Amino acid sequence: MGQIYTADKIRQLFICRGSAVENRLTQNRCNENLLNTNFENENKFIISTRQKRQSRPRSRPRSRIGSLQRLRRSRRERRRREQEQQKKRAERAQKQRAYLRSMEEKARERRRIFIQNEQARLERFRQEREERQTTTTPTTTTPTTTTATTTTPTTTPTTTPTTKAPSGSGR
């Protein structure tokens, strides 16, 4: 049969075969025991080999399938995380661009206001200088006006002292 027997089974076989001289009933009982033992062993052997046969091909593809599924899942997760990071980066860049745009607009507005204030200051300064010249010119030009009362050089003396008066009085 090609089966492997344990030491107990060999003893049992030896005893049953050796007792053949005794009555036939004992022999039949031994044969029945042997038949039952062989049948049990065969069933066990068949079950174990069937289990082995079924487990081997199933376990390999299952493990391969599981590893492939894990790999796909991890790739999906990685792609999802990368997309989320990319979205966050895009949002941050958009916010930064909006912030820079608003800062540029504010800076432009500040420059415009500064230029307006500067122009207003220069205009006031010019007006004050003209007022000073008009108030100082009658005192300095009184002798000149008395000399030329009938002539119209009133505009000429105002322009001539205008250039000389601030340089002399301002500095």
**In whole numbers, what is the pLDDT of the chain averaged over residues?**
72
Q: What is the pLDDT of residue 50?
A: 56
pLDDT (tens digit per residue) in 4-42:
777 777 777 766 555 544 555 566 666 666 555 554 555
Q: Is residue 50 part of a domain?
A: yes
Percent of the chain surpassing pLDDT 70 = 47
Q: Is residue 162 part of a domain?
A: no
Q: Is residue 170 part of a domain?
A: no
Q: Is residue 139 part of a domain?
A: no
How far apart CA 77 and CA 134 sit, in angstroms, is: 84
Domain hosting 120: range is: 7-125
Q: Is residue 25 part of a domain?
A: yes
How far apart CA 16 and CA 22 sit, in angstroms, is: 10
Q: Under the phi-then-psi rule, with left for phi > 0, alpha for psi from -120 to 50, and beta for the rest, what region is 77?
A: alpha
Q: Is residue 87 part of a domain?
A: yes
Q: Is residue 169 part of a domain?
A: no
pLDDT (tens digit per residue) in 71-82:
999 999 999 999
Q: Is residue 160 part of a domain?
A: no
pLDDT (tens digit per residue) in 48-89:
555 555 555 555 555 678 888 889 999 999 999 999 999 999
How far apart CA 4 and CA 23 sit, in angstroms, is: 29
How far apart CA 168 and CA 129 sit, in angstroms, is: 13
Q: What is the pLDDT of residue 64?
A: 77
**Domains of the chain: total:** 1
Cβ neighbours, 10 Å, residue 165: 19
